[in-house]
Amino acid sequence: MENIGFKSLRNIIEIYRSKKVLLTFHSIGDTDAISSAIALQKFFKNAAIVTPDFITGNSKRILEGLGFKPKSIKAKFDDSAEMVVLLDVNNFEDCGAFAANLLKFSGPILIIDHHTPNKIRKDNVFVFNDESYNSAASIIYELLKSEGVSVDRNTAALLATGIISDSAELRNAFPNTFIQIGELLMKAGIDYQPLLLKMHHVASPKSRLDFMNDLFESKVIVDDNMLMLYGQARMHANKVADDAIRIGADVALFYTISKREISFSARLRPPLDAECDINLGKTMKSLAPLINGNGGGHPCAAGAYGTNRSNAPTFIKSFISEIRKKFGEE
């Protein structure tokens, strides 16, 4: 593994501009990961976007609203690619079903990320990991600008949604974050509030009532240093978990059950990830076997899904125990 700077990052993508490139990201791809991949794809002449499993429902909705086709993103690793680019993730473990493929891949693997660095013991891995960016989309936008690549209106709007979504509604923003968002809004020809409406669709009154009831009916843990909300959601567990953080929870865990699987969404109030050394992505990944599934994500937002629907109580109990240890409550 070799850590590289911005100049070397530019050199690598220029070398592979006309070659066969595979663009991918972490398990349960979010808006930042998807927007980064779609924008960077425009630089390469022969690049495909693939997902280890699936992208979030909100990401799909944003893509469709901006004229992109989520169905074009397949869940199949192409071993014939000449280079693989990992976006918004800096390890193989969080790439779900692609982890084994990445270990076997002999061509260069380029990582573009903004999280706490990880070490990968593989000589063909080149890592640009800069925590001074709030999102992968922020890095990709600067990279495209440096290469003289102009983005169309829809791609500009999509990149803006990636930057905004990973800033926790601008709570994790840096000075350059606001500059980039302003530039992208100008390119997209859209104001900030209309873009937020595209990102956060106003649900029907019945759906909003369901969200409220999910929160009212949730279980609450109050410790000396932590407030946690958890429970079952009628639908869209991720949105309920987001709302729980917005109204004051430190930690939230909600799940939905379908005929085929159970799906958990966890959220953490920034900057508790750094203050308490919590990485929800790693936590959900480690607990996913309890439901015979997979998990992953970011330090403050992650998910897990699996087929063992009856094991929800054990999963929840284990999650609570892990989080309490981090808060020093056990």
Q: How many of the other CB atoms lie within 10 Å of CB of 270?
A: 16
- The pLDDT of residue 259: 87
The pLDDT of residue 117 is above 90: no
The pLDDT of residue 39 is above 90: yes
The pLDDT of residue 188 is above 90: yes
Burial of 115 (0-12, 13-18, 19+ CB in 10 A): buried
Residue tagged 């993103």 (tokens): 73
- The pLDDT of residue 298: 76
- The pLDDT of residue 16: 98
Please report which confidence band the pLDDT of residue 201 belongs to, taking 50, 70 and 90 as the band edges.
Answer: low
**What's the chain's Rg over C-alpha atoms?**
19
Please report which confidence band the pLDDT of residue 180 belongs to, taking 50, 70 and 90 as the band edges.
Answer: very high
CA 81 to CA 78: how far, in whole Å? 6
The pLDDT of residue 291 is above 80: yes
- The pLDDT of residue 274: 87
The pLDDT of residue 189 is above 90: yes
pLDDT tens readout for residues 104-115: 999 999 999 998
Q: 115 is written with which tokens?
A: 């999280």
Mean pLDDT score, 47-56: 93
DSSP letter for 270, please. Answer: T
CA 164 to CA 42: how far, in whole Å? 21
Q: 55 is written with which tokens?
A: 């992208």
Determine contact, residues 195/188, Cβ cutoff 8 Å: yes
The pLDDT of residue 297 is above 80: no
DSSP sequence for 104-132 = H--S-EEEEE-SS------TTEEEEE-TT
Residues above pLDDT 70, as percent of the chain:
98
What is the model's pTM? Answer: 0.79
Determine contact, residues 63/73, Cβ cutoff 8 Å: no
pLDDT tens readout for residues 227-279: 999 999 998 898 899 899 999 999 999 999 998 899 999 999 988 998 999 99
Determine contact, residues 56/31, Cβ cutoff 8 Å: yes
pLDDT: which is higher, 322 or 305: 322
- Taking CB atoms within 8 Å and a gap of at least 24, the contacts of 42-46 are 42/144, 42/149, 42/151, 42/155, 43/13, 43/17, 43/143, 43/144, 43/147, 43/149, 44/13, 44/16, 44/17, 44/18, 45/17, 45/18, 46/18, 46/19, 46/20, 46/21
Q: With the C-alpha atoms ordered 52, 20, 115, 183, is the resulting torsion angle positive or negative?
A: negative
pLDDT: which is higher, 293 or 291: 291
Our measurement of the distance from residue 56's CA atom to the centroid of its chain's CA atoms, rounded to an integer in Å, reads: 9
Instruction: Tell me the domains of the chain and their CATH numbers.
Output: 2-198 (3.90.1640.10), 205-326 (3.10.310.40)
Mean pLDDT score, 42-50: 96
The tally of CA atoms less than 13 A away on the side-chain side of residue 294 is 16
- Round the average pLDDT of the chain to a whole number and report it: 92
pLDDT tens readout for residues 118-155: 789 899 999 999 989 989 999 999 999 999 999 999 99
- Taking CB atoms within 8 Å and a gap of at least 24, the contacts of 322-325 are 322/283, 322/286, 322/287, 323/226, 323/228, 323/251, 323/278, 323/283, 324/223, 324/226
Determine which of 42-46, 120-124, 197-201, 310-314 has the lowest per-residue pLDDT on average.
197-201
